[in-house]
């Protein structure tokens, strides 16, 4: 995946707006009407209702233009940050342990070698 350059490159075009525990909703008949109205409104707004785990569902709406621009900037910053630390790792610079898995995953997505493979091989010897 190359560096995101336009809104078309933003992968998360939906934003989570809430969740419900369906078990609680269906045991309260007065809530069913409001829940149904919420689902209908979400569908009109091109939103989604997705089951997550157990009896829980999450509601998502499409991001507006401002939110998409913000997400693009965030994605670009993240990509740039991973690239910067990847290059530092290749140069043998010390990289914080908490960053290593993110850098390795970024490298894999970019089709690049994992900069920490040689470290794990050395520690096994």
Q: What pLDDT does 122 receive?
A: 45
pLDDT at 43 over 50: yes
**Confidence (pTM):** 0.75
SS (H, E, C) the chain: CCCCCCHHHCCCCEEEEEEEEHHHHHCCHHHHHHHHHHHHHHHHCCCEEEECCCCEEEEEEECCHHHHHHHHHHHHHHHHHHHHHHHHHHCCCCCCHHHHHHHHHHHHHHCCCCCCHHHHHHHHC
Q: What pLDDT does 75 receive?
A: 96
What would the pLDDT profile of 50-104 be if each residue is shown by its tens digit? 998 888 999 999 999 999 999 999 999 999 999 999 999 999 999 999 999 999 9
* Percent of the chain scoring above 70 in pLDDT: 94
Average pLDDT on 15-21 reads 92
Q: What pLDDT does 118 receive?
A: 67
């Amino acid at each position: 995946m190359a560096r995101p350059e336009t809104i078309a490159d933003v992968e998360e075009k939906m934003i989570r707006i809430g969740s419900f525990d369906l078990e609680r909703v269906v045991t309260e008949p007065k809530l069913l009407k409001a829940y149904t109205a919420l689902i209908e409104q979400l569908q009109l707004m091109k939103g989604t209702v997705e089951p997550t785990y157990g009896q829980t569902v999450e509601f998502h709406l499409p991001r507006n233009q401002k939110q998409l621009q913000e997400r693009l900037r965030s994605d670009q910053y993240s990509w740039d940050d991973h690239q910067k630390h990847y290059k530092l790792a290749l140069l043998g610079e010390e990289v914080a342990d908490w960053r290593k898995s993110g850098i390795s995953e970024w490298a894999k997505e970019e089709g690049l070698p994992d900069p920490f493979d040689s470290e794990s091989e050395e520690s096994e010897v």
